[in-house]
Each structure stands twice: as C-alpha cells, then as structure tokens.
Amino acid sequence: MSIRIEHLNYIYSQGTAYEKQALKDICLEIPHGEFVGIIGHTGSGKSTLIQHLNGLIKATDGTICYNGENIYGERFNMKELRNQVGLVFQYPEHQLFEVDVLSDVCFGPKNQGFSREECEKRAREALKLVGLKEKYYQSSPFELSGGQKRRAAIAGVLAMQPKVLILDEPTAGLDPKGRDEILEQIAYLHKETGITVILVSHSMEDIARYADRIIVMNQGQVMYNSTPKEVFAHYKELEEVGLAAPQVTYIMHELAEKGLAVDIGATTVREAADSIMEVLGR
C-alpha cells in the first residue's frame, strides 16, 4: 500500500503567459500505515502535490507508483485508485450538496456501487468516526455549524473506506476546540484502522503532535523529509522560508543556551515538560 513518487514535475498553464512551475523534481516514498505531515508556505506546492496522489492532476513529467503500479500506466484503474486514496480538500464543507447529511455521506459509497443498505451502514460508521451526533443525520447540511459541516464532509470521504487518507488543511478556519477535536479524531482513526494519513497543514504544532514524519515543501521542492525532531532542529532555516518550529523548540533552545541541560529535540509540550522536570528534579 505504499506510494512512491519519482522525479515529479508539474507546470501550470504550460505554454501560456501564466506558465508556472508548481512542482520541481519531487521524489518521495510514503509507506503504508504512516502518519505523514506536509508543511509549507502558501503556494509552496503542497496542495498541487497531494492532488497528484489520486490522479486528479496529471504530472507534466515523472511517475507515481501506488503499490508498485504506475498510475499513469495504460491499464491502470484510476477509479479504483480514487476509492483507495481518499482526498479531503481544503474547506470540504463547500462540496456538500444533498438534502440531508446522511445522503451526502452516502454519495461516495453509492458511486463505488454499493447497495443502499451498505451505503447507509458505511455512512453511519463514518459519521460516528468523525463524532457527529445522530440527531444531525437527517438535517440539511447547510443548517449545520462550521465545525459540524466540516465533520460531515470529512465523513463523506471516510465512508468510502480509503486505505490512504489525505487531508488538506482540515482545521483551517476552525476554533481551537474544533481544531483539536478533528485532529484527535484523525489520530484515533489512524491508530484504530491503521490507514495511511497524509496531513497537510501550516501549523507546526499540529503536525509535530501527530506526524511520524514531516515533509517540508518550499517553492515546489522538498526541503526536508524526516522525523519531526530532525526537521525542527533546522528551525533557523525554516524561519528563512517563512515557516517556524513549534514554540517549545524555541523555549528548549533558549533554556539550553542558559545552561539547562534539557532535550532540545523535544517537539511537543508534553515531551518538553517531561524533559524540564527531569533536569530540575535531579
């Protein structure tokens, strides 16, 4: 279930005055079951990159292999790829259209060709996973609050039971509570079902907390591709491209400069607190 990207290039509006190279020679490998975070500045190509992964955009150059099969191959079943690689777009609530929440979530499984009962079963499971209360199932998706709409829309992709779940800024525009709840649910889903999760965000804190590996994009290229600890060690370089390390990284570095022997590689508040306690308690 791995995804392998080799020398991927993508040029927008090729051959016109608006031509722009969005991706430059991307090489990546995402094994099954990993929780990957992709961060980058606006316009760094992260959204373009993830749309390649389920074949919505065709690369100008380069190959993508899903389970070792070239997705640009002649006999490749693109529909099956889209069933297996679920993509939740930014502001997914903008794609809701049905008369009630349950039918909207059923849209995906229905397109996959399941029976009515099976669609509903899957939809209910998905809605439970995102934590939307049962009383909302029959209401119009347009009557829900922002956070609830977002959950319903994410459920719409989850109901297809993908093997790989890609989320493009799933928490944009949500309040801190809604943000934490959605991220917790994604982390729970990852743990329970073992699916691959690719989370695109520009919040370092969010990504540091959940991701096994971080891919930093800058101007269409992969800048770093490694564990959170290693990536955040480059916090000065990250600042230069308009990103920042989580706040704890800065605190730990300053504490270390002041002579406290704390672990400067701590990436979450929990780790940082433990490390400080350990040093102080000695």
Partner 1 sequence: MIRDITIGQYYPAKSILHRLDPRVKLTATVLYLISLFLFKNLSGYLVATVFLIVIIRLSKVPFKFIMRGMRPVIMLLMITLLFNLFLIKEGEVIFSAWIFKITEGGLRNAVLMAVRLIYLITGSSLMTFTTTPNELTDGLESLLKPLGRIHVPVHEIAMMMSIALRFIPILLEETDKIMKAQIARGADLESGNILQKAKSMIPILVPLFVSAFRRANDLAMAMEARCYRGGEGRTKMNPLRYTGRDKAAYAIVILYVAGVVAVGRYVPLHIWIF
Q: Does 170 bind partner 1 (CB under 8 A)?
A: no
User: With respect to partner 1, which residue has the nearer C-beta, 116 or 270?
Assistant: 116
Draw the binding track, 65-84, toward partner 1 (x: CB under 8 A; -: no contact): --------------x--xx-
User: With respect to partner 1, which residue has the nearer C-beta, 38 or 159?
Assistant: 159
Q: Does 200 bind partner 1 (CB under 8 A)?
A: no
65 forms beta bridges with 4, 70
> Are 66 and 80 contacting, i.e. CB atoms less than 8 angstroms apart?
no
Within 256-275, the residues that bind partner 1 by CB under 8 A are none
Contact with partner 1 (CB under 8 A) among 16, 42, 74, 259: 16
Amino acid identity, residue 135?
K
User: With respect to partner 1, which residue has the nearer C-beta, 111 or 145?
Assistant: 111
Contact with partner 1 (CB under 8 A) among 37, 40, 45, 108: 108
Inter-axis angle of helices 247-257 and 269-281, nearest 10: 20
Q: Does 97 bind partner 1 (CB under 8 A)?
A: yes
d(CA 53, CA 50): 5
Q: Does 86 bind partner 1 (CB under 8 A)?
A: yes
Stretch binding partner 1 (CB under 8 A), from 108-116, 169-177, 195-203, 262-270: 108-116
Cα three-residue angle 205-208-211, rounded to 5 degrees: 135
Contact with partner 1 (CB under 8 A) among 7, 94, 116, 133: 94
187 forms beta bridges with none
d(CA 23, CA 220): 4
User: With respect to partner 1, which residue has the nearer C-beta, 86 or 170?
Assistant: 86
Q: Does 156 bind partner 1 (CB under 8 A)?
A: yes
3-state secondary structure of 119: helix
Question: 2-15: buried (b, 16+ CB within 10 Å) or exposed (e) per residue?
Answer: ebbbeebebbeeee
Q: Does 280 bind partner 1 (CB under 8 A)?
A: no
Draw the binding track, 35-54, toward partner 1 (x: CB under 8 A; -: no contact): ----------------x--x
Cα three-residue angle 21-32-198, rounded to 5 degrees: 45
Q: Reading across the β-sheet that carries 221-226, which strands appear in turn?
A: 85-88, 164-168, 196-201, 35-40, 213-218, 221-226
Residues at the contact surface with partner 1, assessed by CB under 8 A: 13, 16-17, 51, 54, 56, 79, 82-83, 86-87, 89, 92, 94-97, 107-108, 111-112, 142, 156-157, 160
